[in-house]
Chains A and B, each alone.
Chain A
Amino acid sequence: EAGVAQSPRYKIIEKRQSVAFWCNPISGHATLYWYQQILGQGPKLLIQFQNNGVVDDSQLPKDRFSAERLKGVDSTLKIQPAKLEDSAVYLCASSSVQNSPLHFGNGTRLTVT
């Protein structure tokens, strides 16, 4: 089975610029997650979708971060405007049902200068 696809792999932007990341989950997986992993820390959940609805976005900085999952398949995560502290790896994960193990993509490494 094809894994979770993410793009781009790397992105370098200046602070106050905007950036978007894309994720294509494993086919048929209803649940999709975006995690932020800052260097030296474990992944932290930003947002969880069940199909095209948001289940949990309690830790998403909504003043600058937004995410959508139109049609319940692909998802995009946007940061506008970016801050230096947004430098991290952004991981997308999917699972077939809630509470089943997550499958992770390779992540997008964002550097904000």
Chain B
Amino acid sequence: AQSVSQHNHHVILSEAASLELGCNYSYGGTVNLFWYVQYPGQHLQLLLKYFSGDPLVKGIKGFEAEFIKSKFSFNLRKPSVQWSDTAEYFCAVNAGYNQGGKLIFGQGTELSVKP
């Protein structure tokens, strides 16, 4: 069965520190990859997505992610975090067109940024 694994449950950083959140998935075929963010009290929002092409994708608010097919990974990065980045981050995989848009989510990583 397809699955998504996020390495860290809770990450605590100081402002201006660099961020990397790990995400690995298990599926051998074509995948679409997503990172969603949930700010406190708000709904899940799309941060960035990868469908095809350049494996380094840029999203909103300075976030980027790199798809490494050989490692089944889609790690999220940001060079310098801000207090406002405090949120929960979810990696998600849509395992190919014939899955009809069904997203499989990781368990989430809670990011706390200290001012």
Contact = CB atoms under 8 A, between A and B. Distances in A.
A42 B106 contact: yes
B107 A42 contact: yes
Given A42-B4, A42-B90, A43-B90, A102 B43 contact: no
B10 to A, nearest CB: 10
Interface in A61-95: 91, 93, 95
A105 B43 contact: yes
B101 A102 contact: yes
A60 to B, nearest CB: 13
Q: Max chain A CB contacts within 10 Å: which of B36, B44, B49, B104?
A: B44
Interface string A87-112: 00001010101111111111100000
Interface in B52-110: 90, 92, 94, 97, 100-108
Interface stretch (A10-18, A19-27, A48-56): A48-56
Q: Max chain B CB contacts within 10 Å: which of A50, A98, A103?
A: A98
A48 B104 CA distance: 13
Interface residues of A, number: 28
B7 to A, nearest CB: 14
Nearest to A40: B107
B101 A99 contact: yes
A101 B107 contact: no
A56 B95 CA distance: 14
20 contacts: A40-B108, A41-B107, A42-B4, A42-B92, A42-B105, A42-B108, A43-B90, A43-B103, A45-B104, A48-B100, A48-B102, A91-B43, A91-B44, A95-B101, A99-B101, A100-B101, A101-B49, A103-B46, A104-B45, A107-B43
Interface of B: 4, 6, 32, 34, 36, 42-46, 49, 90, 92, 94, 97, 100-108
Given A41-B108, A48-B102, A102-B101, 4 more contacts: A33-B102, A40-B107, A40-B108, A45-B102
